[in-house]
Structure 1
Amino acid sequence: MVAYNTFTDQELFSLLKKADQQAFNEIYDRYWTPLYLHANRMLRDEDAAQDLVQDLFIWLFEKSEDLDINTSLSGFLYTAVRNRVFNAIKRNKLKDNYLIEIAAFADEMIDVADEHIHLKELAAIIEREIDFMPHKMKEVFNLSRKAHLSHKEIAEKLGISEHTVSTQIQRALLRLRKNKELQYAVSVIILNCFH
């Protein structure tokens, strides 16, 4: 069995251009969380950030055969997210000048490679924290955030109520927010964005 998680981004992208579903899955697993965090930091809207990143991955899969990337895959994906954020801001005619200024500033100042390293560290901390969650909470959280199932779908799959699903997800998010290591990592990323 081929271990796709050992492939470089360039190798994965070459396989993706040949419509390799496993290569796409590995790219998705590798970049979904950091790209979501990046979009959410600029949009300050979890649902909009999730939708934006999900749409980006759908587009990537559908257009991969025709894409030629002249930079690193991570650089390409981060640029695509930022462009989509700017388009969402224009499309929704957001009048919050602060948000627009922050998004523009981030576009000019963020060093993608440095940010990618910090976001990978943050994703590793999040994964470790998820591993320490009680079994049911972890299962519900992973189905919500990784499998992207709705509360109703999770409830049906696990034979529990939607209210229980919602409660488990809220508790999982609260647990992540209370983690001091995560708070520190987020602070480092934010500080690195502004100098």
Structure 2
Amino acid sequence: MADLNSLSDLQLFDLFKSGNVNAFGKIYDRHRTPLVVFVNSMVKDQDIAQDIVQEVFTVVFQRAQSLEINSSEHLANYLYRAVRFKVFNAIKHEQTKTNYLESIANFASESYNQADQDVHLKELAEIIEATVQSMQPRMREIFNLSRKQHLSHKEIAELLSLTENTVSTQIQRALFVLRNNKEIQNSLLLIALHLLQYKCIF
């Protein structure tokens, strides 16, 4: 077998997918430091930069078999896109988490009893989250990147090395699952009935 140092990133990645863990270690050694420098230039914190890079390599290690990498440049571009997304997501995480829950009830009336609204919306949010967690891993991942992280289909496709059509199909299937969930349907109906009942009083 050729010396790992003489192999390109693509050759190393293919070798790793064939079961050679040392090949992945060589990819890690080549890219870790420049990636940490890149991330640190954005977050201005060496420890956070190292954590983000480590998380990305962990994900690549776990998803290697499903990643469609066709060149050494493609792999490098994937790594830099991945850490950049991690940085952006870390920055807006708390805000997006709140917005995600609030967006579930955009249709609700301002005059709807706030106490009842909070209870029912909390229940609905919990049902939706449980349904999302029960989805197939790839579908759940794509759906969360779209709805929670607000990434476009193109951005998700680039991040996961998928086609935009695959991303679109997975999101549509996820929405189908949510729309056809009886608990979600019943919860939405309950909110609507309370809203109508409250308005009829006046």
TM over 0.5: no
* TM-score normalised over the length of structure 2: 0.43
